[in-house]
Amino acid sequence: MADFIRADGRSVNQLRPLRFQNHIAPYAAGSTLIEWGKTRVICAVTIEESVPRWMKEQKVTGGWLTAEYSMLPYSTLERKPRDISKGKLDGRSSEIQRLIGRSIRAAVNLEKFGPRTVCVDCDVLQADGGTRTAAITGAFVALSLAVKKLIAEKKLVESPLLASVAAVSIGIVEGRALLDLCYTEDVAATVDMNLVMNAAGEFIELQGSGEEATFTEAQLAELIATGKAGIRDLLVAQQAAITQG
**Cβ–Cβ under 8 Å, residues 184 and 190:** no
Phi, psi for 39 (deg, rounded to 5): -90, 130
Distance CA 186, CA 134 (A): 15
When pLDDT is cut at 50, 70 and 90, the band that residue 37 belongs to is very high
Provide the strand spans (E) within the chain: 18-22, 30-36, 39-48, 64-71, 117-126, 165-173, 176-179, 191-198, 203-210
When pLDDT is cut at 50, 70 and 90, the band that residue 84 belongs to is confident
Burial of 86 (0-12, 13-18, 19+ CB in 10 A): exposed
Phi, psi for 8 (deg, rounded to 5): -95, 10
When pLDDT is cut at 50, 70 and 90, the band that residue 3 belongs to is low
What pLDDT shows up at residue 237? 98
**Cβ–Cβ under 8 Å, residues 101 and 93:** no
Sign of CA dihedral 192, 121, 118, 137: positive
Which residues, other chains included, contact 217 with Cβ-Cβ below 8 Å and sequence gap of 6+? none
Distance CA 205, CA 103 (A): 7
Domains and CATH numbers, the chain: 18-244 (3.30.230.70)
When pLDDT is cut at 50, 70 and 90, the band that residue 1 belongs to is very low
The number of beta carbons lying within 10 Å of the beta carbon of residue 198 is 19
Q: What is the pLDDT of residues 113-129, one digit of tens each?
A: 999 999 999 999 999 99
**Residues 195-219: what's their mean pLDDT?**
94
Distance CA 30, CA 168 (A): 22
Distance CA 139, CA 212 (A): 32
Distance CA 220, CA 172 (A): 10
Distance CA 82, CA 3 (A): 42
The number of beta carbons lying within 10 Å of the beta carbon of residue 175 is 9
How much is the pTM? Answer: 0.94
Sign of CA dihedral 1, 9, 175, 193: positive
